[in-house]
Structure 1
Amino acid sequence: MDPYLVLSQKDGRPMYLQIMEQIKSLVAQGEWHAGEKVPSIRELAVASKVSVITVKRAYQELEREGVLLTQPGVGSFVAKNDELGDQIMKQEIDKHLSKAWAQAKSFGLSLDELMARLKILATNNKGVKDE
C-alpha cells in the first residue's frame, strides 16, 4: 500500500479534507480493501509532507464516517464493510450531481433539460476513461 497522496496548497481546502477525499477515493476504487491496514499516521504525514496533526484529524474524521477503524497499539484499518466502496462512490456522485442540479436551476434549466444534457454527455463520452 503506497502511502503517497497528492496534496496542494493551491487547492483552497484544508489538507485534512484533501487527505480524506483521496483515502475515500482509494477505498471506492478498490485500491485499499476492507480490513487492510493503512499507513500509520506518522508514515502518511512524512510521505505527504504534512503534519502528524493534520493526518490524525483526517483519520479521526474517517473513523467517524465509518471508513477507517483504529486499534490502539495496532494501527488503522479500512473498515470491514463490503459495501463501503459503493457507499463512498454514491456519496461522491451525489455531491457532484447536487452541485450540477443547483447550477442548472440557477440557469433556469428544468430537471428534464438537465437529464437530457447528461444523456448527451454520456453518449458523447462513450469509451472515455479519463478526462
Structure 2
Amino acid sequence: MDISILFSLKQPIYEQIVTQIVAQILNGELREEDQLPSIRKLASELKVSVITTKRAYEELERAGYVHTVTGKGTFIAYQDKENVKLNQIEVIKNELRRIVPDCKKYNIQLTELQKIMQLIYEEG
C-alpha cells in the first residue's frame, strides 16, 4: 500500500489517507479481504499520529470500505464498484461546489474552468 502525505496541503492528513486508500480500492490495487497495516504501523510509516490514522480507518469503516475484526486487523470490505463510483461522484460534486464560487468570484468562465480541468485530468 502506497500512501504519500503532503503536509503543505490544506486537506487534513486523515482525509489524504482516506482518499488514497479509496483510490487504491477503486483501481484494484487493494482487493476484498486485503489486510491494511495496523493503525500504529501506518502512523509510524507515515510519521503521523496514531489518532490521525485511527480517524482515517474509522472514516473508511463508516463509509463501508473496510471492516475491522477485533484482534485480527482491518480488512478491505466487499465493494459494489458501481455504488462506489456513485459515492465518489458525490464527493467530487461537493468539491466542485466548494470551488465554483471562487471561480465566479474571480470571473473565471466555465469554458476556462473546463480547460483547466482537462489539463489537470490529462496530467494525472
Q: What is the TM-score when the length of structure 1 is the normalising length?
A: 0.69
Task: Give the unaligned 5+ runs of structure 2.
Answer: none
Q: How many Å separate the matches in 2 of 1:89 and 1:19?
A: 15
Aligned-pair identity in percent equals: 33
Q: How many Å separate the matches in 1 of 2:116 and 2:11?
A: 28
Query: How many positions carry a matched residue from both structures?
Result: 122
Structure 1 partner of 2:52: 54
Larger radius of gyration: 1
Q: Secondary structure at the match of 1:10?
A: coil
Contact 1:34-1:82 at 8 Å conserved across structures: no
Task: Give the unaligned 5+ runs of structure 1.
Answer: none
What one-letter code is carried by the residue in structure 1 that aligns with 2:94?
K
Contact 1:40-1:76 at 8 Å conserved across structures: yes
C-alpha spacing 1:57/1:25, structure 2 compared with 1 (3 Å): same
Question: Any idea what the Cα deviations from partners look like across 1:83-105, whole Å, max 9, x if unmatched?
Answer: 25424531342233223432344
Q: CA RMSD in A?
A: 2.9
Q: How does 1:7-46 map to 2 (within 5 A)?
A: 7-46=5-44
Structure with larger RCO (C-alpha < 8 A, sep 6+): 1
1:77 pairs with 2:61: no
Structure 1 partner of 2:94: 95
Question: Any idea what the Cα deviations from partners look like across 1:37-91, whole Å, max 9, x if unmatched?
Answer: 2222122122111222221121112211222211111211122122254245313
Q: How many Å separate the matches in 1 of 2:10 and 2:113?
A: 28
